[in-house]
Amino acid sequence: MGTASDPVGTGLVASLARPGGNITGSTLINPDLSGKRLELLKETIPKLKHVAVLIHHDNPATTLMLKETETAAQSLGLQLQILEVRGSNELENAFGVAKKGRAEAMNVLSSAFLQIERKKIVELASKGQITAMYVDRQFVESGGLMSYGANIADQFRRAATYVDKILKGAKPADLPIEQPTKFELIINLKAAKQIGQTIPPNVLVRADRVIK
């Protein structure tokens, strides 16, 4: 596996150090990064109080990510509005509910479905002038505001070394699951301008890539 969110928490493996069975690779540790994403939203909007959280349960780690997000929200004094969607026809309504709930920002959790629908999600966020945080740089490259997470390209390069080891006879059970070493904050200033959101210098200076 190259991009599992939390293989231990979802029961895929026994532990990162000793996975056991026939599964190994690398993890994105997305649940562990949930709090950091909320912190970045709070730094971007210092007076932030209400955050909508967009989820789809196709990711087994969604419950874990949501739990970590709720814990971080409590420590940051944020109120969360959980918006679960089951299909693309529900996305527009979800953004409408977020606006009615006076959400000042949105945190989009990791999901294969939401990844596929990223262009529509980015368009809805721009239309609704919602400051949105994503887990994957592809959202930002599609016009989204900002993302924070592991460098996925680096994850797959490292996973390839495990493929090589296994093909040469190594047992997956004996190969510790690797955690990411490269994280990236991507900010799209074009998107910020479209929604009227100023990115504070203390956030902008930490960006690994800025799209102008």
pLDDT in tens, 126-146: 999 999 999 999 999 999 999
**What total of structural domains would you count in the chain?**
1
Domain that holds residue 183: 30-153+179-211
pTM (2 d.p.): 0.88
Burial 21-55 (b: 16+ CB within 10 A, else e): eebbbbbbbbbbbbbbbbebbbebbeebeebbbbb
In a domain, 146, yes or no: yes
Residue 48 lies in a domain: yes
Condensed to tens digits (0 to 9), the pLDDT of residues 156-198 reads: 888 899 999 999 999 999 999 988 888 899 999 999 999 999 9
Does any domain span residue 108?
Answer: yes
Distance (Å, whole) CA 76 – CA 171: 43
Residue 121 has pLDDT above 90, yes or no: yes
CATH number for 189: 3.40.50.2300
What's the mean per-residue pLDDT of the chain? 93
Residue 156 confidence (pLDDT): 86
**3-state class (DSSP) for residue 49:** coil
Q: What is the pLDDT of residue 181?
A: 82
Domain presence at residue 51: yes
Distance from C-alpha of 119 to C-alpha of 114, rounded to nearest angstrom: 9
The number of C-alpha atoms within 13 Å of 36 and in the hemisphere containing its C-beta is: 16
| Confidence grade of residue 1 (pLDDT, cut at 50, 70, 90) | confident
In angstroms, the CA 179 to CA 29 distance is: 7
Is 167 domain-assigned?
Answer: no
Q: What is the mean pLDDT of residues 15-43?
A: 90
Domain-located, residue 159: no
**In-domain check, residue 37:** yes
